[in-house]
Amino acid sequence: NAGVTQTPKFQVLKTGQSMTLQCAQDMNHEYMSWYRQDPGMGLRLIHYSVGAGITDQGEVPNGYNVSRSTTEDFPLRLLSAAPSQTSVYFCATGTGPRVLTFGAGSRLTVL
């Protein structure tokens, strides 16, 4: 039982490049979300989904896209990376926005 799997664990991008952070869960959770962690800022919600086909914006959605075509997967897309998007990204899932199970994180550096 893998829980929440995030890939890749580390990534270095150049400004303007695009990439997708993958998140997969095997717990059949309806609720999935993406957070970024920055020093002094804590965990900030980027986007979340309450079920397949349903997504909504969090606190800091600009520069990121998401989609939810299946219950299991919730990819986060950066269309044109900027240095301000250098961060650690966490995918989190749950039966609702309460007790969440987090992935191990993806560390992204944008040069």
Partner 1 sequence: DQQVKQNSPSLSVQEGRISILNCDYTNSMFDYFLWYKKYPAEGPTFLISISSIKDKNEDGRFTVFLNKSAKHLSLHIVPSQPGDSAVYFCAARGDYNQGGKLIFGQGTELSVKP
CA 66 to chain centre: 8
Q: Contacting partner 1 (CB under 8 A), which of 48, 64, 66, 74? A: 48
CA 64 to chain centre: 9
CB of 110 to partner 1, least distance (A): 20
CB of 89 to partner 1, least distance (A): 10
Q: Contacting partner 1 (CB under 8 A), which of 13, 23, 92, 108? A: 92
Q: Contacting partner 1 (CB under 8 A), which of 25, 33, 55, 85? A: 33
Decide if residue 51 touches partner 1 (CB under 8 A): no
CA-nearest of 40, 16, 20 to 91 is 20
Residue 38: count other Cβ atoms within 10 Å of its Cβ.
13
| Structure letter (DSSP) for residue 85 | G
CB 17 within 8 A of CB 81: yes
User: What residues line the site for partner 1 (CB under 8 A)?
Assistant: 4, 33, 35, 40-45, 48, 50, 56, 58-59, 90, 92, 96-105
